[in-house]
Amino acid sequence: MTDLPLSILYQDDHLVVVNKPAGMLVHRSWLDKGETRFVMQTLRDQIGQHVYPLHRLDKPTSGVLVFALSSDVASAMMPQFANNQIKKGYHAIVRGWIADAGQLDYPLVEEQDKIADKHASQAPEAKSAITDYQPLAKIELPIATGRYATSRYSLVAMQPHTGRKHQLRRHMHHLSHPIIGDTTHGDGRHNRVFRHHFDCHRLLLHASQMRFKHPVSGESLTVTAPIDSQWQALMEAFAWQWPDNADLMGN
């Protein structure tokens, strides 16, 4: 992880939105004691004022991350997240070819942390989890995996309607199209293909776009996060075209 400044996608007197780098934690966590750089502290130092995280992205996920610049704005904004009123667009590279767009309505049990939740009195119940997905591009590589002589991959757009932990990673696993680089819900053989042939050692999941109502002005705001150099290299290697901003959420 470098010490480069965070890329600020949007900023006004009330909100600041950054393009979170893959592999960077949003804030300090006792579960990752070895980490030294965090989005929240880096952004605070970069803009010279305290920031309030409104949601989270997993450490390996890149893309749109929104902060409030006051506790009042944070309080005004949180109901949009709690009530799933915010539209989010993600992109991922997954194993296999997806033939058609669809919607997966597959409830998920909250994943418990082995340490933090070890004293939980009872197992959590499954909660509603809904994801729209659309295949955008595909490729077949002359690289053998398992009993197959070739390897197939798809670029897919996803829009979660709910915000369950690891929802997109778990839903794509359920569809038998796990996201490349997912070491928990993915396919180790295909993760190795990307490590060995493309020097790609990370999760290929990007939070591309978010649309929400500004908590002060009430206006609709759409923020788009460009892909990083590793994503760009893969798009070029596969001769894929990154969708236009207007198409990132399936518009």
Q: Is 58 known to be catalytic? A: yes
Task: Point out the catalytic residue in the list 12, 13, 58, 182.
Answer: 58
Q: What HEC string does the chain produce? A: CCCCCCEEEEECCCEEEEEECCCCECCCCCCCCCCCCEHHHHHHHHHCCCCEECCCCCCCCEEEEEEECCHHHHHHHHHHHHCCCCEEEEEEEEECCCCCCEEEECCEECCCCCCCCCCCCCCCCEECCEEEEEEEEEEEECCCECCECCEEEEEEEEEECCCCCCHHHHHHHHCCCCECCCCCCCCHHHHHHHHHHHCCCCCCEEEEEEEEECCCCCCEEEEECCCCHHHHHHHHHCCCCCCCHHHCCCC
Name the one residue in this structure whose structure tokens are 């934690």.
Answer: 25
Active site residues: 58
